[in-house]
Amino acid sequence: MNLEIIPTGAALAAEVRGLDLSQPVDDATFAVIEQAYDEYGVLFFRDQRITPEQHVAFTRRFGEIELNIFGERWSVPGCPEIVVVSNITEDGKPIGVRRAGENWHSDMCYTARPPRGTILYAIETPELHGLPLGDTEFASAAAAWDALPESMRRHIDGRHAVFDFTGRKRSFQPTREEIERNPPVRHPIVRTHPKTGRKCLYVMRDDCTGIEGIAAEDAEVLICALADHIVKPQFIYRHHWRPGDLLMWDNCTVQHRAIQDYNLPLRRKMYRTTMGGAVPV
């Protein structure tokens, strides 16, 4: 196989060509993929035809799989590791989580060990007369850190924010038990990528409800300014989905949002797996 890693030219993201993910990935090939993933933050593979089992097996190459709150409601039958993200309704019931991730975020930042990454596989994607809809945007929080003035870096490095599950309006109504299972946690607002050592901002509007050592009003101003900085156009890659795309992102250096510019009868159906993570440093 002739493996190629092709950078998109944006601040993050590369395409991987020459790999059929329905076949086992040998260790040498996996090492190239993992290194590119750590470096580019987003990797995508076009024209894949994989089963749920192959999707799960590929995710496992990156370590344990995280079973998340969506999976308890909307997973692929017989495959609790895969969450269905979709706007489709069957027999009057949604087949997956709708409007997932429509605001900028990093997955499950409200947990003590946020996931290393997420893998999304496109089954059906909306388009109108050839115009792709339902894109996902990705922002490099590492490039955003690199671009900060030194005085801001000194002001925020070493500080911790409170991340609160109840801070953000979610695409479903969490139960009391789910809220109790996810008490507020504290994370550094400047994280270091565990593999590359690259620094990045880890701040999201709504999820971050305060910064330790900074008065509430000032903290809110800072959180909003940093959250807006991360998503400036120069730090963004926008993915136009095609069925058969498998795309993975790093939840340390990358934030993302799903663009909700389509409605039924335009259908979008994605299968998502989540990698286990570690305590952010």
Catalytic residue among 168, 191, 239, 256: 256
Annotated active-site residue 218? The verdict is no
Footprint of ligand SIN on residues 84-103 (CB under 6 A)? 85, 100-101
Label residue 276 exposed, middle or buried (CB < 10 Å: 0-12, 13-18, 19+).
middle
Annotated active-site residue 105? The verdict is yes
CA 240 to CA 143: how far, in whole Å?
A: 22
CA atoms within 13 Å, Cβ hemisphere of 3: 15
Annotated active-site residue 250? The verdict is no
Quick check: 247 binds ligand SIN (CB under 6 A)? no
Catalytic residue among 105, 116, 187, 268: 105
Secondary element (H or E) of residue 140: strand 136-140
Annotated active-site residue 107? The verdict is yes
CB 220 within 8 A of CB 214: no
CA atoms within 13 Å, Cβ hemisphere of 95: 16
- Least separation in angstroms between CB 86 and ligand SIN: 9
Catalytic residue among 55, 116, 268, 272: 272
The correct pick among 126, 270, 273, 280 for binding ligand SIN (CB under 6 A) is 270
- Least separation in angstroms between CB 256 and ligand SIN: 6
Footprint of ligand SIN on residues 135-174 (CB under 6 A)? 136
- Least separation in angstroms between CB 85 and ligand SIN: 5
- For 31, residues 6+ apart whose C-beta sits below 8 A from its C-beta are none
- DSSP for residue 251: T
Task: Write out the residues near ligand SIN by the rule CB under 6 A.
Answer: 85, 100-101, 136, 256, 258, 270, 272
Residues with a known catalytic role: 105, 107, 256, 272
